[in-house]
Every structure is written in structure tokens, then in C-alpha cells.
């Protein structure tokens, strides 16, 4: 804040906005036009500023003793009188111009204002009540300004300037800088006597100091100034303002003196509508609109918080538990953001008693200008940061960065004298570090598409960091000697993006599953499921004693299947690939949610080895880290070979009926089921499954299907064993673990596991079984039958699709359907696969018939029949010449046929496309004909 001194940069900035448009005529010119008194004011601007600065110095000493509530209160009682008068005066001024005032997109809501006002009236103040409304600007345009411009100008913000004014040339800006700081001072001056000037300055500075933007008075007087100066030919004007109905009153009755009646030449050019409707129109459903919504919520939260600073934490903390307690070590500015190097106390929980003993970690905390202004942090200050702060881990950065620090509070523990010294400290501007513009930001996720690439990338970063760190770290590279820690978060925070060195973390393996190597959460470029183990990698979902989860990608074959599940393991040589958040990796968190609340009480963060346990009713984690085992140093070792950890939560299997009856969406569920039919469609596999609860249910009352389709998405990696089992023609029972229920369907997605049915680790012996004793029954085709399901159908043949009916010979031995006609011998075929002449080829037929079904009377039901059904249907229809008579088929009853539902249409006509199938049955011949997609 160069030159800013005690005054908030906010103030300067706003004033700068206001003044800016009146250039480039030069500020003196502008003021001269406005009238003699203002000339005087202008002429003494720089002098005034100097005095203004003095004013700050005089008052700030007392005012900044914010901890001393008594003093502050007195001060304000005394101060609260004069400003009100001024407000009245400036009201009248502004009223003259017929401006309607509107609230605009700023950090502070109108409620804040009211809040301030009432507080000021009470003569009651504390520093947490201060904030800034620098964005509340209204812009007056010159005559030539178009309506369009006004619409967005309306809601302001600094960088809108360039859009609104062609006078925004660089040289203009210089003059702005020169005068901006005095803006509010001169505004007062314009309606007061010269003698009262510096006194006024003091007063308004005081107000600024303590209320920062409370400043209704301040705003008004500024407006007065600029209205006053508006006779300048070029005046795009910003007014810091907000909705105040007083402003809309006609002013004349309030006018006190000639000075306050100011020339207002362009009142017709204020085509504004008050309220948010006049704001820049954001695209519906756009990102800007979303952020705007967020901001509105945030604003009211901020105002509420600052109002009821202490009591409010309780309600807020629902979002992310914990207050961050940090001690500022060093402060500097980057742009207008304050960067504080801090030391963190005691994890996430605020507990003043633990200060001093707990381990401390380095953090960088960013404060916006407004927060910094109200916080007035200094090195050695202890700051409490309340949720919803956010932590950003920069892969090659030294320590995590804390952002969204809207709610923070300085904990004053020092004696008064010290505070005063600090106050003076604050007057000196913080060092500002300038930022190079010579480069663009490079973000890895755009250039590198695959996780492998990211791994490579972080390898490089790692190398770089290691190079810079030099050799002092090399001696730590003996991971086996490292002490065993129990917090993943600590390990991640202390090690950053580099592979962990000297860190071993004890975790419990909750799940083991495979992810496709090219898997990207969201499934865009997932590989098709297949028995190619080289394209999938084994991953572990682990949890530490604090409840923190991590997904660990193993490199190479260091893991063996499910053997690790439930065991306590130590992780070594990990590195962070990514921070996963609930929003970004919903799939992972839907799995984590099945393990929440934890099976046993967790350790409280920040309490180290104390084994003090917290309640288990903590909110589920909102983020976790995705770790990758480093190819050379990464190790995952089982700590206690035979014991299953108490923290382990095996998947809870349920019966299909229960699952279908609960309609919780996007949740994971596990069940045992028998696959009675399967079908590959493009990259998905559809498995028709059932269990005893679905088969046993009463025909009429449940409304639940007898079979359920389960979609195996390409992102679900099937083990070799499962792939082989599915290839067999016999029905198998599987454990479907952690499948996702989404949009009424059960889907095996990433992190879902299919296991051939066998007792699960840690599972009670009363595990549900889907052993079906009787033959599987299907639902009959009806109005609720869905596509990609199976059903049974019976009905009368009412038509034959002759255009698609045909037949072809196949090899009677191998079933090869591509027989070649033998060259010399007409009518004889040879099979390329068997290398022989096929003497008696089997004739296969394709036949689709239309059925009249009693269960779907108004519906066209087209069924592609199986070979067996075709044979039986045509048995009596054959003519002597080998052709078939359609008439002899019509009216025949068929069914019950088991069918796969290929299509269901309701518009324009109700129509169902079925394909007769053979269910997998234990006794079936192995020469099953599995329809290929081409044939469908």
C-alpha cells in the first residue's frame, strides 16, 4: 500500500474510480468549472492530503486500540454526531440530481449497511464491523454514452472502466493517482468552510478507519463532490453508493445553503433503474451467474459473521469443521493481496490451550485487501481463520496456501503498549513484491491428458525440487528407518508433491480395486473392459486413524488382489498426484460415504499421540489425496498380517429387493446376484441378474421386477477370473461390490468390483446367498417394461416381417456361418474353418414376427425369434418347394418366450422391439449362440 498509510486502500481505490472519468481535462480544470469554492479545494488538494494524513496519525492511535472496547466506544459516541449532519447535507446534494441509487455487485450487502448504521447509532463499534463497499458505484455517463454501456457500468467494478470510457488512456490515470487520495476530503470541503476542513478531514478519516465502508456519509459527500464537478465535458462518473431511500427524495426541502446546491447538468442522462435488475446481465446458467449466486450467499454470511463474530462460528462450522489458528511470521503484498507466511497451530481445531505445545506447520495465508484492512495483521499476531477457508496445495510450492479467508479474527494477547506500537507499525506500508508479466501461466491439466502424463510431470517437478533442495535431503532417503506416522494429511502437508522421503504412514486398506490406466474420473477416455491386465492398475482406498482417506495407485505388481483389504499397512514413497474433492471426483466420494461414519472413534486432529478420541459424528471428508506409489521407493507393507483392523468397514451386502426399494440415488451398494443373461452393447456389458428376494416375491403386489439389468461400464475393470466366468455358458453368482445406483439403474463403474461368489473377508457367516432353487422367472411384458431389460412374452402371431426374413447355411460341425460355395459342385458348401466340404449344412433363419399380446393390447410387439422358435413355428408351414406360407404362420400362438427388450417407443406409436434369448442355465449346452452386435 505505497503511500496509503493508515487509510484503507479501499478508500483510495473507490475514489480513484470516481475521479477517473473526469479526466483528462486535469482535475483543477474540473473543479474550477464547478465553482469558486471547489477551486479552492482543488488547489489545496495535495496540502489537504498531507493534513489528512496527519489526521490519521492523530486519531489512529486511539482508534486502533480495538481490543480496548471502552475507548473505542467513547470515541464513537463523540464522533457519531457530526457525520450525521453531513449526511443530511449531502443527501440534499445528491437528491438534486435526481439520481436513483442502486445497489451493485460488491462485497457488501445492503444488510451490512443497515447493520453498520445501527451500530454506529449505538455508539458501539468494534473492528470486526468494518468493511468495504468499494464496489458500490454508480456511473454517470456523458451524453453520448449508450444505454448498453450503462447497463453493465451500473454494477461497476474497476476493470469495467476501459469498456465505458474511451478516455481511459494511460496519461489520464496518472492524474487520477495524484488526486485520488483527497477525494473524500475535498468532498466535505465543498460544503463546509475552509477552516473546518482539516478538522473534518480528521473526522472522516476516523470514520474511515473505524468503519471503513460504513461511510454512508462518506459516500454521499463524495457524490456531492462529483456531481459538483460534473460540468467537466468528459465525465463518466462512478458513485460509491447503495440503496438508500433517502436519496430518492426530492432534495430541495433539505437544502441548507447555497453551497450545497450544486450544478447538475446531466440529470437526464441517468437512465438507471435501482436494484439488481440494472446489473450487468449475466448469461442464464452461465458460470458468471453461478458465481454471482455464490457471492450473494457469501456476502450475507460475511456480514452476519462480522456482526456476531463469535457466536456465528458455530453455525458456520457445519461446512468444514475447524478453525485454523496461525501465527503470522512474515507479511508482504502481491498485487493487493496480502500474503502472510504463517505457522499453523494444532491442526484444524481451535483450542487455545493447545497453543504452544502442538506441532506447527508452515502455511501461507492470503488475505484480500478488505480482510487485511480489517484484520491489520502484523508479524507475531495470532489469527483465527474460520471456515470456509480453503486450502490449495501447490505441487511444487513450499507449503499449502489458505484462501477464502473471509472470516478471521486477531487474537489480542499483548499489553496495550505493544498494541500501540503495532498500530504505528501498520502505518508503514507492507513490502510489495512485483510479479513478472513475461510469462503466461501454464496449467498441466490442459496439456497433459492422461494420469501417466501427470505422473511424469510430477516426477519432473520432483526432480526439480530435489535439485534445488540440494543434498541435505539425501540422507533422509532411508524410508524403512522412518518413524511410523498416523496422519496422511500431515504427511502430505510436510512432503508436498515430492515423493515422501522419511515418511511412513500407517493406514487401513478399506478397498482394493482396479482402475483403467487411462482412466480419468468422469470416464471420458476410459478403455473398454477387457482382460488386459497391463492396462489396469490396482488401487487401494486407504484410511488413516484420523479418518482421512486416500486413493493409492500402485505402480507395477506390488499388490496382490484383495489380500490387503482390512489390513493395517504402512505407506512409503508415495507422492501426491492430485487432490480429489467431492465435486470433482463424485465417484470416489460416493464410495467413501459408504464407510462413513467410521467403524471406530477417530483420533482428534492436532492431538498427536494423545489417543484422545473424538466423536464419530463428524461430517464426512470433503477432500482426499490421490497418491501414487513411486516406482522405485514406493512400498505398501502389511503391518499386522493376521489382524483385520477395527477401522475396516467391509461392504455391506443387501438383497436386491432392499436395494430397489430404497431410492437413494448416486449411492454405492453391494449385493450378491446370479447372472442369468448377458449382452455386450458397444462398450458396455449388460448383465441381467436376479436374486432370491426378487424371484420369491409375490406376483402382484410388489411392483418390483423379477430381474434387474446391471450395466458394467467400461471404467469398471473386470478381473481375469470374472471375464472367464462370464464367457462360460453357465450361470454364475457374483458379488457386485460398490456398484452405483444412478438414475434408477445399477451400474458397475470405476471402483466397483465383481467377484465370483465366495465368502468375503470379514463377512459374517450369515452372508446373503442368492442360491435359487427353482428355475428363474421373468416378468411378463407389460407397460412398465424398460429397454435393455428382459421379459417373457406370449401372444398370437399377427404378422411376419417378410423383408427381413432370410436363411443361410452353417457348418454342422463348427457352426461357421461363412460357408463358401464349392466351385465345381453346385449346392455343396465348404467350411473354411474345418477345411472340409459340408455335406449337410444346418440352415439358420432370421425371422421377425409381430405378436398380439394380451399384456400389451395396444402395442406393436415385434419379436426376433430364436432358431428353436422359428423351427417350431415353421414346422407346419413348409411348402413343398422349401418356401413357407405366411398365412399358415398367422394366428399361431407363441410363448412363453424369454426376450431381451431392444427398444421401447411410445411415440408416434407404441412399439416394443424384442429379441428372443436363451437364459443361462446350468444344464445348457456349451454351443450357446451369443448374438454379436452386428447381428442386432
Partner 1 sequence: MAAALAGLTLPAVVEELLSEMAAAVQENARIPDEHLSLLKFIFGPSAIQALDLVDRQSITLISSPSGRRVYQVLGSSGKTYTCLASCHYCSCPAFAFSVLRKSDSLLCKHLLAVYLSQVTGTCRQLKVSDKQLTDVLFAEKKQKA
Site for partner 1 in 423-462 (CB under 8 A): 432-446, 449
For position 524 contacting partner 1 by CB under 8 A, the verdict is yes
The rounded distance, in Å, linking the Cα atoms of 295 and 297 is: 5
Which residues in the 857-876 window bind partner 1 by CB under 8 A? none
Q: Which stretch binds partner 1 (CB under 8 A): 58-66, 115-123, 520-528, 878-886?
A: 520-528
Backbone angles phi, psi at 505, to 5 degrees: -120, 135
* Distance from C-alpha of 493 to C-alpha of 387, rounded to nearest angstrom: 19
Q: Shortest distance, CB of residue 467 to partner 1, whole angstroms? A: 11
Q: How far is the CB of 157 from partner 1 (least distance, A)?
A: 3
Tell me: does residue 495 bind partner 1 (CB under 8 A): no
Site track for partner 1 across 404-423, x = CB under 8 A: x-x-----------------
* DSSP-based three-state secondary structure for 291: helix
Q: 724 by DSSP, 3-state: which?
A: helix
Phi, then psi, of 690 in degrees rounded to 5: -155, 160
Residue 102 CB-half CA count within 13 A = 24
Q: Binding partner 1 by CB under 8 A: which of 169, 561, 825, 893?
A: 169
Is the Cβ of residue 465 or residue 745 nearer to partner 1 in the bound state? Answer: 465
- C-beta of 104 vs 653, nearer to partner 1: 104
Task: With CA atoms as reference, report the closest residue to 236 among 142, 310, 323, 321.
Answer: 142
Other beta carbons within 10 Å of 682: 8
Residue 290 as a binder of partner 1 (CB under 8 A): the answer is yes
Q: Which is nearer to partner 1, 352 or 398 (CB)?
A: 398
Nearest Cα neighbor of 599 from 566, 567, 645, 647 is: 647
* Residue number, 165 or 653, with CB nearest to partner 1: 165
Residue from 49, 131, 152, 197 that binds partner 1 (CB under 8 A)?
152
Cβ proximity to partner 1: between 272 and 364 the closer is: 364
In angstroms, give the least distance from the CB of 935 to partner 1: 34
Strand 536-543 to strand 549-553: parallel, antiparallel, or no bridges (unpaired)? Answer: antiparallel
Q: Output the CA–CA distances (angstroms, integers) from residue 786 to 258, 262, 264, 790, in the order listed.
A: 82, 75, 72, 8
Nearest residue (CB) to partner 1, 229 versus 585 = 585
Closest to 225 measured CA to CA, from 15, 82, 10, 11: 15
> Whose Cβ is closer to partner 1: residue 22's or residue 260's?
22
Among 105, 516, 529, 606, binds partner 1 (CB under 8 A): 105
For the window 357-376, what string marks contact with partner 1 as x by the rule CB under 8 A?
-------x-x-x--------
Q: Which stretch binds partner 1 (CB under 8 A): 117-125, 157-165, 205-213, 663-671?
A: 157-165
When asked if residue 743 is in the footprint of partner 1 (CB under 8 A), the reply is: no
Q: Cis ω on the peptide bond leading into residue 597 (within 30° of 0)? A: yes
154 phi and psi angles, rounded to 5 deg:
-40, -45
- Between CA 128 and CA 371 the distance in angstroms is 10
Distance, CA of 341 to CA of 331 (rounded, Å): 6
Helices 110-121 and 216-228: crossing angle in degrees, nearest 10, is 110
The Cα 853–Cα 911 span in angstroms is: 12
Exactly one of 3, 271, 275, 522 binds partner 1 (CB under 8 A); that residue is 522
- Stretch of 31-39, 158-166, 474-482, 737-745 contacting partner 1, by CB under 8 A: 158-166
Instruction: Between 127 and 364, name the residue whose CB sits nearer to partner 1.
Output: 364
CB 566, min distance to partner 1, A: 29
240/601 with CB nearer partner 1 = 240
153 versus 851: smaller Cβ distance to partner 1 = 153
Residues 323-342 that bind partner 1 (CB under 8 A): 334-337, 339
For 769, residues 6+ apart whose C-beta sits below 8 A from its C-beta are: 672, 692
- Write out the binding residues for partner 1, residues 584-643 only, by CB under 8 A: 584-586
Question: Least distance (Å) from partner 1 to the CB of residue 733?
Answer: 34
- Applying CB under 8 A, the span of 145-153, 187-195, 528-536, 871-879 interacting with partner 1 comes to 145-153
Shortest distance in whole angstroms from residue 620 CB to partner 1: 16
Among 168, 300, 594, 867, binds partner 1 (CB under 8 A): 168
Told to check if 162 binds partner 1 by CB under 8 A, we report yes
Binding segment for partner 1 among 394-402, 546-554, 675-683, 816-824 (CB under 8 A)?
Answer: 394-402
Which helix (H) or strand (E) covers residue 85, if one does? helix 81-96
Report whether 97 contacts 272 (CB < 8 A). Answer: no
DSSP 766: T
- Which of 223, 233, 234, 222 has its CA nearest to residue 169? 234
- Closer Cβ to partner 1, 397 or 533, answer by number: 397
Angle at 436 between CA 431 and CA 442, to 5 degrees: 125
DSSP sequence for 404-437: ---SEEEE--S-HHHHHHHHHHHHSPPPEE----
Phi, psi (degrees; rounded to nearest 5) at 547: 95, -5
| Listed ranges 71-79, 146-154, 309-317, 786-794: which one lies at the site for partner 1 (CB under 8 A) | 146-154
Nearest Cα to Cα of residue 735 among 685, 689, 670: 670
Residue closer to partner 1, measured from CB, 53 or 395: 395
Rank residues 583 and 908 by Cβ distance to partner 1 and give the closer one.
Answer: 583
Residue closer to partner 1 (CB basis): 388 or 531: 388
Site residue total, partner 1 (CB under 8 A): 83
Regarding 390 and contact with partner 1 (CB under 8 A), the answer is yes
224-283 positions binding partner 1, by CB under 8 A: 280, 282-283
Counting contacts by CB under 8 A, is residue 890 touching partner 1?
Answer: no
Applying CB under 8 A, which of residues 158, 199, 343, 486 lies at the interface with partner 1? Answer: 158
Q: How far is CA 403 from CA 299, 302, 361, 396, 858, in A?
A: 16, 15, 16, 18, 62
Spatial distance between the Cα atoms of 558 and 571, rounded to a whole number of angstroms: 12
Q: Supply the minimum distance, in Å, between the C-beta of residue 616 and partner 1.
A: 26
C-alpha to C-alpha distance for 649 and 94, rounded to whole angstroms: 68
| 157, 246, 411, 420: which one binds partner 1 (CB under 8 A) | 157
Rounded to an integer, what distance in angstroms lies between the CA atom of residue 743 and that of residue 396? Answer: 40
Amino acid at each position: 500500500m505505497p503511500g496509503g498509510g493508515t487509510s484503507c486502500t479501499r478508500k483510495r481505490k473507490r475514489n480513484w474510480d470516481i475521479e477517473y472519468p473526469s479526466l483528462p481535462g486535469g482535475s483543477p480544470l474540473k473543479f474550477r468549472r464547478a465553482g469558486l469554492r471547489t477551486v479552492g479545494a482543488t488547489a489545496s488538494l495535495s496540502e489537504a492530503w498531507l493534513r489528512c494524513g496527519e489526521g490519521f496519525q492523530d486519531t489512529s492511535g486511539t482508534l486502533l486500540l480495538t481490543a480496548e472496547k471502552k475507548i473505542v466506544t467513547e470515541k464513537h459516541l463523540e464522533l457519531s454526531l457530526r457525520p450525521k449532519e453531513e449526511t443530511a447535507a449531502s443527501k440534499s446534494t445528491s437528491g438534486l440530481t435526481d439520481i436513483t441509487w442502486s445497489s451493485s455487485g460488491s462485497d457488501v450487502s445492503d444488510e451490512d449497511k443497515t447493520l453498520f448504521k445501527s451500530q454506529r447509532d449505538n455508539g458501539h463499534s468494534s473492528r470486526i464491523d468494518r468493511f468495504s463497499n468499494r464496489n458500490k458505484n454508480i456511473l454517470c455517463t456523458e451524453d453520448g454514452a449508450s444505454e448498453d454501456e450503462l447497463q453493465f457500468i451500473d454494477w461497476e467494478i474497476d476493470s469495467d472502466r476501459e469498456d465505458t470510457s474511451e478516455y481511459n488512456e494511460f496519461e489520464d490515470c496518472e492524474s487520477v493517482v495524484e488526486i485520488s487520495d483527497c477525494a473524500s476530503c475535498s468532498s466535505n470541503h465543498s460544503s463546509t468552510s475552509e477552516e473546518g476542513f482539516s478538522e473534518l478531514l480528521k473526522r472522516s478519516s476516523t470514520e474511515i478507519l473505524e468503519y471503513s465502508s460504513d461511510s454512508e456519509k462518506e459516500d454521499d459527500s463524495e457524490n456531492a463532490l462529483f456531481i459538483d464537478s460534473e460540468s467537466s465535458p468528459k465525465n463518466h462518473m462512478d458513485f460509491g453508493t447503495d440503496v438508500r431511500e433517502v436519496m430518492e427524495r426530492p432534495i430541495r426541502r433539505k437544502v441548507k445553503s447555497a453551497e450545497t446546491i450544486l450544478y447538475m447538468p446531466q440529470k437526464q442522462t441517468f437512465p438507471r433503474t435501482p436494484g439488481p435488475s440494472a446489473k450487468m446481465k449475466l448469461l442464464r446458467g452461465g458460470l458468471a451467474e453461478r458465481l454471482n449466486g455464490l457471492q450473494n450467499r457469501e456476502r450475507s454470511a460475511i456480514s452476519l459473521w462480522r456482526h456476531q463474530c463469535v457466536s456465528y462460528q458455530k453455525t458456520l462450522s457445519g461446512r468444514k469443521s475447524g478453525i485454523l489458528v496461525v501465527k503470522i511470521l512474515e507479511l508482504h503484498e502481491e498485487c493487493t493481496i496480502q500474503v502472510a507466511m504463517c505457522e499453523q497451530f494444532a491442526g484444524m481445531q481451535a483450542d487455545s490451550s493447545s497453543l504452544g505445545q502442538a506441532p506447527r506447520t508452515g502455511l501461507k495465508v492470503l488475505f484480500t485487501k478488505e480482510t487485511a484492512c480489517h484484520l491489520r495483521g502484523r508479524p507475531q499476531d495470532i489469527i483465527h481463520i474460520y471456515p470456509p477457508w480453503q486450502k490449495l496445495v501447490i505441487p511444487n510450492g513450499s507449503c499449502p496456501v489458505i484462501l477464502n479467508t473471509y472470516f478471521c479474527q486477531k487474537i489480542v494477547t499483548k499489553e496495550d503498549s505493544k498494541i500501540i506500537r503495532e498500530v504505528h507499525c501498520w502505518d508503514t506500508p507492507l513490502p510489495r513484491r512485483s510479479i513478472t508479466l513475461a510469462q503466461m501461466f501454464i496449467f498441466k491439466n490442459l496439456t497433459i491428458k492422461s494420469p501417466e502424463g501427470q505422473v511424469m510431470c510430477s516426477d519432473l517437478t520432483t526432480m526439480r525440487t530435489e535439485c534445488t533442495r540440494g543434498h541435505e535431503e539425501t540422507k533422509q532417503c532411508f524410508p524403512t528407518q522412518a518413524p511410523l506416522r498416523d496422519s496422511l494429511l500431515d504427511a502430505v502437508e510436510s512432503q508436498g508433491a515430492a515423493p515422501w522421503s522419511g515418511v511412513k504412514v500407517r493406514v487401513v486398506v478399506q478397498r482394493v480395486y482396479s482402475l483403467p490406466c487411462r482412466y480419468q474420473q468422469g470416464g471420458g477416455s476410459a478403455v473398454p473392459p477387457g482382460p488386459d491386465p497391463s492396462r489396469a492398475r490396482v488401487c487401494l482406498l486407504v484410511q488413516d486413524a484420523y479418518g482421512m482417506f486416500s486413493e493409492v495407485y500402485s505402480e507395477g505388481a506390488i499388490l496382490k488382489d484383495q489380500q490387503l483389504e482390512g489390513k493395517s499397512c504402512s505407506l512409503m514413497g508415495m507422492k501426491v498426484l492430485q487432490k480429489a474433492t467431492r465435486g470433482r471426483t463424485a465417484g470416489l466420494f460416493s464410495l467413501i460415504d459408504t464407510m462413513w461414519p467410521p467403524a471406530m472413534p477417530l483420533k482428534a486432529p492436532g492431538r498427536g499421540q494423545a489417543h484422545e478420541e473424538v466423536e464419530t459424528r463428524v461430517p464426512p471428508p470433503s477432500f482426499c489425496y490421490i497418491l501414487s506409489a513411486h516406482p522405485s521407493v514406493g512400498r505398501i507393507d502389511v503391518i499386522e498380517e493376521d489382524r483385520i483392523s477395527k477401522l475396516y468397514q467391509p461392504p455391506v451386502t443387501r438383497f436386491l429387493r432392499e436395494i430397489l426399494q430404497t431410492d437413494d440415488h448416486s449411492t454405492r451398494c453391494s449385493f450378491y446376484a446370479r447372472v442369468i443373461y448377458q449382452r455386450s452393447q458397444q462398450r458396455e456389458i449388460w448383465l441381467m441378474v436376479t436374486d432370491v428376494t426378487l424371484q420369491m416375491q409375490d406376483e402382484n403386489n410388489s411392483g418390483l421386477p423379477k430381474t434387474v439389468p446391471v450395466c458394467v461400464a467400461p471404467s469398471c475393470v473386470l478381473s481375469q477370473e470374472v471375464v472367464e466366468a462370464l464367457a462360460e455358458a453357465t450361470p454364475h453368482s457374483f458379488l457386485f461390490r460398490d456398484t452405483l445406483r444412478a438414475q434408477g439403474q445399477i451400474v458397475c463403474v470405476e471402483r466397483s468390483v465383481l467377484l465370483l461368489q465366495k465368502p468375503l473377508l470379514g463377512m459374517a457367516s450369515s452372508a446373503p446367498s442368492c442360491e435359487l432353487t427353482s428355475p428363474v422367472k421373468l416378468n411378463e411384458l407389460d407397460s412398465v417394461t424398460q429397454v435393455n431389460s428382459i421379459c417373457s412374452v406370449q401372444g398370437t402371431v399377427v404378422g411376419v416381417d417378410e423383408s427381413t426374413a432370410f436363411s443361410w447355411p452353417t457348418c454342422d460341425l463348427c457352426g461357421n456361418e461363412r460357408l463358401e460355395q464349392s466351385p465345381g459342385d453346385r449346392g455343396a458348401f465348404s467350411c473354411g474353418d474345418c477345411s472340409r466340404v459340408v455335406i449337410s449344412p444346418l440352415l439358420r433363419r432370421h425371422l421377425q414376427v409381430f405378436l398380439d399380446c394380451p399384456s400389451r393390447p395396444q402395442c406393436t410387439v415385434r419379436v426376433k425369434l430364436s432358431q428353436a422358435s422359428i423351427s417350431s413355428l415353421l414346422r407346419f408351414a413348409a411348402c413343398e418347394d422349401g418356401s413357407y406360407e405366411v398365412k399358415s404362420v398367422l394366428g399361431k400362438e407363441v410363448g412363453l418366450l424369454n426376450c431381451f427388450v431392444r427398444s421401447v417407443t411410445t411415440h408416434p406409436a407404441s412399439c416394443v422391439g424384442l429379441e428372443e434369448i436363451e437364459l443361462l442355465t446350468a444344464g445348457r449346452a456349451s454351443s450357446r449362440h451369443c448374438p454379436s452386435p452386428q447381428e442386432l
